[in-house]
């Protein structure tokens, strides 16, 4: 009987204790909505929430990292174009690393390593950026005084043919259809020949024979964004007179 009475008292005590704990939790919920920041489990839940937020931030940063890296490389490429590489002539390529040797750009991407580290045959450098079928369009970015004597507002360049000769690999021969549109909507077009220079990462087209000003055309890539290039229209004196920001549309 004594044992039974003790068990009953213990059961009553546990019941009262559980009721007290439940009351505390209910008060916490009433005071804090869901009891997230207080109560026995508040700190653990808050820590879990912070971890979730941190993981979300890391995931977001990872998704944006490639674009940030791409932009940084594009800026680095533009700066390197402005800096003197020590070769001076503009038609030479400087081997990197410990070998500061200047090569003719005719030896760049010719299928043979002329730099000790093979930098002149780097796969990314020697990759074609103007394959047949590529279409680029651009709008006026800058005009010099006189503007080539033409009111050109937009340019469209379609690569209709492209070939890299086995015996002259340092240049990629191209044929492109160029369409110039004036501010009044008048279009002038021509199919012209040219080549892609791997060292300069630039496609250079011969002057348009049918245009009164015999305008030439070139478009330079930054080596990072293959879908964009900066185009220059040149007059007969070879001076750039109009610039366009071009973007690949296909």
Q: Band the pLDDT of 221: cuts 50, 70, 90.
A: very high
- CATH assignment of 130-248? 2.40.128.620
The pLDDT score that the predictor gives to residue 3 is 47
Residue 126 confidence (pLDDT) above 70: yes
Q: How far apart are the first and last CA of the chain?
A: 92
pLDDT of residue 133: 95
E strand or H helix at 20: helix 2-32
Task: Enter the tokens of residue 142.
Answer: 């800058």
When pLDDT is averaged across residues 210-229 and rounded to a whole number, the result is: 83
Q: What is the pLDDT of residue 205?
A: 93
Please give the average per-residue pLDDT across 136-152, as a whole number: 79
Asked if 196 and 211 count as a contact pair (C-beta separation under 8 A), the reply is: no
Q: Is the pLDDT at 32 greater than 60, yes or no?
A: no
The structure's pTM equals 0.66
Asked whether the predicted pLDDT for residue 35 surpasses 50, the reply is no
How wide is the angle at C-alpha 234 spanned by C-alphas 233 and 240, nearest 5°?
90
Give me the pLDDT at residue 157, please.
95
State the DSSP string of 177-217: EEEEEETTS-EEEEEEEEEEETTTTEEEE---TTSTT--EE
**What mean pLDDT is predicted for residues 2-25?**
57
Instruction: Kindly report, residue by residue over 181-198, the tens digit of the pLDDT.
Output: 988 888 888 899 999 999
Beta bridge mates, 93: 103
- Is the confidence at residue 170, as pLDDT, over 80? yes
CA 220, CA 92: separation in Å to the nearest integer?
17
pLDDT in tens, 197-210: 999 999 999 887 76
Average pLDDT over residues 6-25: 58
Q: Is the pLDDT of residue 104 over 80?
A: yes
Nearest to 236 by CA among 148, 132, 110, 146: 148
């Amino acid at each position: 009987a004594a044992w039974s009475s003790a068990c009953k008292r213990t059961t009553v005590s546990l019941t009262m204790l559980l009721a007290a704990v439940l009351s505390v939790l209910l008060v916490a919920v009433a005071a804090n909505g869901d009891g997230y920041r207080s109560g026995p489990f508040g700190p653990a839940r808050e820590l879990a929430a912070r971890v979730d937020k941190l993981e979300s931030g890391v995931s977001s940063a990872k998704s944006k990292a490639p674009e940030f890296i791409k932009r940084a490389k594009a800026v680095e490429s533009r700066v390197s174009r402005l800096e003197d590489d020590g070769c001076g002539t503009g038609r030479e390529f400087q081997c990197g690393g410990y070998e500061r040797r200047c090569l003719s750009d005719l030896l760049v991407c010719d299928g043979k390593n002329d730099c000790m580290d093979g930098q002149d045959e780097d796969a990314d450098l020697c990759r074609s950026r103007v394959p047949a079928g590529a279409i680029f369009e651009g709008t006026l970015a800058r005009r010099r005084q006189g503007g080539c004597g033409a009111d050109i507002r937009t340019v469209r360049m379609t690569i209709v043919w492209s070939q890299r000769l086995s015996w002259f690999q340092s240049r990629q021969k191209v044929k492109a259809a160029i369409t110039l549109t004036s501010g009044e909507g008048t279009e002038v077009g021509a199919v012209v020949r040219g080549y892609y220079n791997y060292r300069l990462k630039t496609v250079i087209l011969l002057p348009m024979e049918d245009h009164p000003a015999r305008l030439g055309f070139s478009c330079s890539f930054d080596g990072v964004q293959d879908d964009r290039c900066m185009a220059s229209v040149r007059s007969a004196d070879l001076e750039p007179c109009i610039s366009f920001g071009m973007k690949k549309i296909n």
